[in-house]
Each structure stands twice: as C-alpha cells, then as structure tokens.
C-alpha cells in the first residue's frame, strides 16, 4: 500500500490553442507571382510568426486548412485538434480513452486519468481533492482502505491511517505516538525497549522498577541468568559453595540452602561405599543398597568371598563384609 499524490494538468499545456478569424473589412493586394489577392491584415501573433490570410496555414499532419479553426502549435508547427490529440494525448488508465487537449488530466505514478475517472474503486468517490491509497494498483479512498486493509493500533484500537507513521513489533501495530513506556509514558519509537508480559518499558524504567535482581550481588539482571530456589542469579554469581566453580550448565546439588558441585558435595557430605570407599552420590542414575549403617554401590554389593552379586539374594553380614550362603557355610 502507498498513499498517493497527484498532479493536475491540462492537455493544452504545450502551447495555447490559436483560433483563426475572418477579416471584417479586408483590404487586398495582388501577389505578382501567383496573381492571387492577399489580405493585408495580420490575423495571429500568439508568440509565433505573423500569419497573413494569403499565407499557407495547414495542419502539419493531415494538411487541412486551419483558417477559422482552433489549432495547437508544437515547436511552432501547427496541428489541428484531432491530430494533436491523436499524437500527443495520453490514455486514461480508468476508461482507456484518450484524454483530450482541453480535458483536466490527473497524473499519478506514471499513469494518467480523466478527472472524472480518478475515483475510489470501491465507493466511486472522487479522489481529485482527497488523500488516497493504492492497493495492488486499485485506488482507494482512506475510508475504504481502512475498512479493508488498515491495521488497528493495539494501544488505542483506532485505525492506522495510510501514510501515517507506525511501529510494528511481534505481530502488533501501534501509532508512533501510542508506543510508549508503561512507566514514564515516553515514546519508545527511537530507543531500546524491553517487553515484559504485555507491557513495554524503556531501559531506565525497566531496570529501576521491574527488572529482577541477583540474589547474590543485588544488581539488575538485564538478560540471561539462572533461577535457584525461586530466586534469580547472574550466571557468574551462581557458584559452588565449596570450590567457587560456576554451576550454570553443570550438574549440582545442595546442602541446606547452599549449592555444591558434585565433586565438593561428594567429598563433604556423600556416604561412602562400604566396599570401595568411594562416594555414593546417586547422580547419573547411580543406585545403591543400604543395610543398617552401611551403603554399597549396586555393582559393589557382592560376596566378599566369591564376588557373586548379592542383589536380590540373601546374604550374611560379617562386620563390614557380606557373604553369600555358600561362602558363609564354608
């Protein structure tokens, strides 16, 4: 869609038409070469050469005599009206007829129209003195365009008129003056803004009123970050309580309110396998067996005598050792 501006032209703009007149009281002299009587009066002097009645004044194209008729000069060459229109007249985009020399002609986007043909393609209202829009080569008045094609401003729910300044974001449209910060109501059209749910904020208002703050450093989180126990953290602030390694993107666990990497948690708090004395963390799908005050990795839960797995089988504890039935007998 584009809004339109037109220029209004008249077809006789090259040179004004000249009209030949008859002498009412002529005086004559005889041409010695042709023996023709020639009128002594000048009939026309309209910016071109003077023409006497005896001089030849014919249409350049059809050669018809132009005395007593309207004619039009193009570069000082006379043309009858019919030849002029045929050679120089534009074709109306609306009715496809020639636009005569004395017709009011409207010009828009390399196309020409009779004034009466330059109208809205929906309601036929004349567009000669009105703003208009062009939609896929169809001329539309503002009312018809808005009812069919114009989007509505999501802030004021009014049509965005053709040619007016608008802003679009995430599939929605605003008048430029309607797209403002939720807090200070200053225009956001020419500056950075931050969306929050269905509202929009300039950066200073967002950071001062809305933005979450890191639980560790208490500074604003503009983008990114992690959430732990319902609280926001900068990635660089979310560290292992033991070794201070960044935990963002890593597996971690907690002891009380404090986060730990797996290694630190295992060293500090994890139970040790009775068989291999390594930490039992339960991470990455690891399973373990617990009996009284002892724990084993599943793979470590086997007979201390013959090493057969005791998962799902009876066993006999002997201090820190466990035995299958056969080894216990022996």
Place of tokens 């690891």: 286
Helix (H) or strand (E) holding 193: strand 193-196
The whole-angstrom separation of Cα 219 and Cα 299 is: 47
**Confidence at residue 32, expressed as pLDDT on a 0 to 100 scale:** 56
Residue that the structure tokens 């074709």 belong to: 91
Helix spans in the chain (H): 81-88, 142-148, 203-205, 262-268, 325-329
pLDDT computed for residue 40 by the predictor: 38
User: Which residues, given as ranges, of the chain have pLDDT below 50?
Assistant: 1, 8, 10-31, 34-53
Q: What pairing do the DSSP bridges indicate for beta strands 231-233 and 226-228?
A: antiparallel
**Would you state the pLDDT for residue 3?**
53
Report in angstroms the alpha-carbon separations of 16 from 81, 132, 141, 155, 199. Answer: 12, 32, 34, 55, 63
Pair 67, 53: CB distance under 8 Å: yes
* CA distances from residue 38 to 35, 49, 110, 264, 320 in whole angstroms, order as listed: 9, 17, 48, 125, 147
- Which pLDDT score is estimated for 28? 40
Burial of 246 (0-12, 13-18, 19+ CB in 10 A): middle
Residues 279-318: pLDDT tens digits? Answer: 877 665 567 788 888 888 888 889 988 989 888 888 888 8
pLDDT at 198: 84
C-alpha 115/C-alpha 93 separation (Å) is: 11
The pTM (predicted TM-score) of the whole model is 0.38
How far is Cα 246 from Cα 239, in angstroms, rounded to an integer? 4
Phi, psi of 212 (to 5 degrees): -70, 155
Q: Please state, in angstroms and as integers, the Cα–Cα distance from residue 35 to each residue in 10, 28, 32, 54, 285, following that order.
A: 44, 12, 5, 11, 127
CA distance 90 to 99: 6
Q: According to the model, what pLDDT value does residue 4 have? A: 54
pLDDT digits (tens, 9 = 90+) for 20-37: 333 333 334 444 554 444
**Is residue 151 a contact partner of residue 160, using CB atoms and an 8 Å limit?**
yes
What span, in angstroms and rounded, lies between the C-alpha atoms of 38 and 300? 137
């Amino acid at each position: 869609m584009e809004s339109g501006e037109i220029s209004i032209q008249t077809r006789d703009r090259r040179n004004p038409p000249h009209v030949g007149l008859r002498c009412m009281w002529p005086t004559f002299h005889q041409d010695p070469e042709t023996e023709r009587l020639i009128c002594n009066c000048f009939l026309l002097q309209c910016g071109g050469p003077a023409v006497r009645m005896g001089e030849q004044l014919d249409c350049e194209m059809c050669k018809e005599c132009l005395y007593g008729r309207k004619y039009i000069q193009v570069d000082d060459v006379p043309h009858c009206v019919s030849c002029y229109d045929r050679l120089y007249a534009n074709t109306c985009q609306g009715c496809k007829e020639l636009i005569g020399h004395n017709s009011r002609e409207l010009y828009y986007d390399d196309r020409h129209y009779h004034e009466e043909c330059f109208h809205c393609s929906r309601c036929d209202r004349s567009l000669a003195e009105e703003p208009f829009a062009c939609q896929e080569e169809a001329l539309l008045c503002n009312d018809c365009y808005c009812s069919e094609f114009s989007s509505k401003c999501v802030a004021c729910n009014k049509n965005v008129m053709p040619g007016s300044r608008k802003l679009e974001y995430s599939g929605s449209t605003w008048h430029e003056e309607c797209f403002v910060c939720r807090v200070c109501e200053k225009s956001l059209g020419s500056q950075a803004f931050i969306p929050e749910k269905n509202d929009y904020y300039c950066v200073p208002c967002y950071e001062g009123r809305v933005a979450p703050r890191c639980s560790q450093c208490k500074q604003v989180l503009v983008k990114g970050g992690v959430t732990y126990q319902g609280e926001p953290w900068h990635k660089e602030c979310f560290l292992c309580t033991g070794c201070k390694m960044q935990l963002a993107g890593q597996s971690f666990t907690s002891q009380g309110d404090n986060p730990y990497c797996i290694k630190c948690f295992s060293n500090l708090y994890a139970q040790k396998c009775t068989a291999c004395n390594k930490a039992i963390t339960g991470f990455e799908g690891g399973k373990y067996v617990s009996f009284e005050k002892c724990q084993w990795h599943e793979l470590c839960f086997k007979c201390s005598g013959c090493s057969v797995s005791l998962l799902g089988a009876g066993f006999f504890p002997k201090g820190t050792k466990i035995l299958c039935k056969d080894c216990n007998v022996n």
